[in-house]
Chain A
Amino acid sequence: MTVLEAADVTFRYPDGTQALTEVSVGVQRGEIVAVLGPSGAGKSTLFKCFAGLERPTSGVVRVEDVDLAGLRGRERRLAHHRIGLVFQEFHLVGRASVLSNVLVGRLATANPVTSLAHWMSRRDRTLAVELLTRVGLGEQVRKRADSLSGGQRQRVALARALSQRPELLLADEPVANLDPVLAAGVIDDIVRMVREEGLTAVLNLHDVSLARRVAQRIVGMREGRVVFDLPVGEVTDALLADLYANEGLAAQAAEREEVAA
């Protein structure tokens, strides 16, 4: 069954930049898909469209057959609640405790009044602590989020996303801010949790070897278009070389233009 479906998604930013052109992708339940592509390919823009944070200029995105763009109010919030997000820069409340950051993921279904006083049900708290324990942060529950290391912070963000009990987990370069050794550990944790929870996941990654290790399918993007969409086994070095070809040259050209301007 298709959990996430994008059909002919085109996205143009207000300044006229066309970031996505007729992107069509389908993700089946339980699949782990990696999105690869050079800088500026449109990976983050696609992530935002999938997450319902941006509305496609044309085309549709459906998560579990629901088009987020068409929803308002409570229905929209509950649709958001079913999609867990992990961001490159964690997006945590630094001064709040690790536990409180994870409980944020439970707010959508918590009592709207008592939750304002940070009163959450026993079930919600148990779930949050359990998830934190499973990502190896059982000892850090009461610490302030900004006292943790980068890898630990991303695990808190992962626990927050999982505490939503989502159907779909989306991550935009979740380990780009971490050094390679930590990065592999965090990605492994993400993938392990996704499998344990039986989720579907789309991960934007910048590291080809990580993508090959954890994903079942790889979507290659370049200049706003899908270049290939294949099972990992069929993604050859040649395809990847093409995907990233001239990235250095393109960057140099951009720089020359900048200097000339």
Chain B
Amino acid sequence: MTATIDKAPDPAPEKTPRQAPTRRDEIERLARLRRPSWGTIAGAVGVVALLGWSSTSTGFSGPALVDGLPHVADFVGRMFPPNLEELPVAIELMFETLGIAITGTVFGVLLAIPLSLLAARNIFPQPWIRDTTRVVVNVFRAIPELMWALLFVSAVGLGAFAGTLAIMVGTAFGVARLFADIFETADMRAWDAAAATGARKSQRIAWVLLPQQLPTMASYTLLVLDGNVRAASLLGLVGAGGIGMELNQQLRLFEYGSVMTIVLVVLVVVMTLDLLSSYVRKRFV
């Protein structure tokens, strides 16, 4: 305690001898431009090579893009004016999309909580529990929602239910990792005090850990919901319900006015949600 008081460093005796004579040199040395190290050069060459390879493998070419510009302009031009007759359908399907996203997020988060508790070192100190859970979570987290959607469409058939399951599973594994990290940064003093009253671990989770971390968890959940609305708008492309199904169909029918209406509805909803959730998150934390 007392040792931390006047701990004023007195570095004077060491520094004075080598200061005066080399000062000029020192400044010039530091001011000189540094030649990039071989590591930096190799890295730069590597990045250029990677970019070259990835663009050729996708058929990316400047001239094709320039040649294509009129087509793009034509496409966009045909999207105007938006077809307002499409609006009621688009709105209805947007509600379905929101339903998929919200239901999937809620159930996904509920599934994520037990997973994340198992993956948090301070809750389950046994390394085998934590490591097994982390491996499982990391493997399944790598599967994109659209793939889950394909899977569930073949399992439960076309429609919104498959989409909801896809969002739920994707969220569960994605959020499990986030929550585990949140739990591991928790202040454990109240947790330890509760343990010393004889409370069970499950009770400590319900009475100490979750109340402490709920605002952070809620704020991440809102962020995830944002992403899930976007993902749910696409699920229809593989037949898993939502507005994407209609978008796909209108594109095939070359009904570009209707396409525009759908895009505008998605745009408005996603942006509104974005504003809403960032507002709520600011008030929360």
Residues of A within 8 A of B212 (CB): 93-96
Residues of A within 8 A of B1 (CB): 39, 251
- The answer to whether A100 has its CB under 8 Å from any CB of chain B is yes
Query: How far, in whole Å, are A164 and B4 apart by their CA atoms in the complex?
Result: 38
Residues of A within 8 A of B215 (CB): 95
Q: Indicate if the CB atoms of B199 and A104 lie closer than 8 Å.
A: yes
Residues of A within 8 A of B206 (CB): 115-118
As a 0/1 sequence over residues 191 to 224 of chain B, the CB contacts with chain A under 8 angstroms (1 = contact) are: 0111111111011001110011011000000000
Identity of the chain A residue whose Cβ is nearest the Cβ of B195 in the assembled complex = A80
Identity of the chain B residue whose Cβ is nearest the Cβ of A81 in the assembled complex = B198
Known: A93-B207, A93-B208, A258-B3. A107 touches B196 (CB 8 A): no
- The answer to whether B35 has its CB under 8 Å from any CB of chain A is no
Q: Indicate if the CB atoms of A104 and B194 lie closer than 8 Å.
A: yes
Least Cβ–Cβ distance between A186 and chain B, in angstroms: 17
Query: How far, in whole Å, are A115 and B198 apart by their CA atoms in the complex?
Result: 14
Residues of B within 8 A of A52 (CB): 196
- The answer to whether A112 has its CB under 8 Å from any CB of chain B is yes
Query: How far, in whole Å, are A252 and B1 apart by their CA atoms in the complex?
Result: 11
Least Cβ–Cβ distance between A177 and chain B, in angstroms: 13
Interface size class of B (residues with CB under 8 A): 20 to 34
Partner of B3, one of A51, A92, A164, A255: A255
Known: A93-B207, A107-B207, A115-B206. A87 touches B193 (CB 8 A): yes
Partner of B2, one of A77, A105, A247: A247
Query: How far, in whole Å, are A103 and B206 apart by their CA atoms in the complex?
Result: 12
Residues of B within 8 A of A80 (CB): 195-198
Q: Indicate if the CB atoms of B211 and A107 lie closer than 8 Å.
A: no
- The answer to whether A160 has its CB under 8 Å from any CB of chain B is yes
As a 0/1 sequence over residues 220 to 248 of chain A, the CB contacts with chain B under 8 angstroms (1 = contact) are: 00000000000000000000000000011
- The answer to whether A182 has its CB under 8 Å from any CB of chain B is no
- The answer to whether A63 has its CB under 8 Å from any CB of chain B is no
Known: A80-B197, A91-B192, A164-B198. A118 touches B207 (CB 8 A): yes
- The answer to whether B136 has its CB under 8 Å from any CB of chain A is no
Query: How far, in whole Å, are A258 and B2 apart by their CA atoms in the complex?
Result: 13
- The answer to whether A66 has its CB under 8 Å from any CB of chain B is no
- The answer to whether B283 has its CB under 8 Å from any CB of chain A is no
Residues of B within 8 A of A89 (CB): 189
Least Cβ–Cβ distance between A40 and chain B, in angstroms: 9
- The answer to whether B7 has its CB under 8 Å from any CB of chain A is yes
- The answer to whether B69 has its CB under 8 Å from any CB of chain A is no
Query: How far, in whole Å, are A160 and B194 apart by their CA atoms in the complex?
Result: 9
Known: A87-B189, A93-B208. A81 touches B203 (CB 8 A): no
Query: How far, in whole Å, are A81 and B2 apart by their CA atoms in the complex?
Result: 36
Q: Indicate if the CB atoms of B202 and A116 lie closer than 8 Å.
A: yes
Identity of the chain B residue whose Cβ is nearest the Cβ of A256 in the assembled complex = B3
Least Cβ–Cβ distance between A71 and chain B, in angstroms: 11
Query: How far, in whole Å, are A96 and B3 apart by their CA atoms in the complex?
Result: 36
Closest 10 CB pairs of A and B: A108-B198, A81-B198, A107-B199, A91-B193, A251-B2, A77-B198, A80-B198, A91-B189, A107-B203, A96-B211
Excluding A89-B189, A160-B193, 9 further A-B contacts by CB distance (< 8 Å) are A39-B2, A80-B198, A94-B212, A96-B208, A107-B197, A107-B199, A109-B198, A161-B197, A255-B3
Binding site for B on A (CB under 8 A): 39, 51-53, 77-81, 83-85, 87, 89, 91-96, 100, 103-105, 107-110, 112, 115-118, 157, 160-161, 164, 247-248, 251-252, 254-255, 258-259
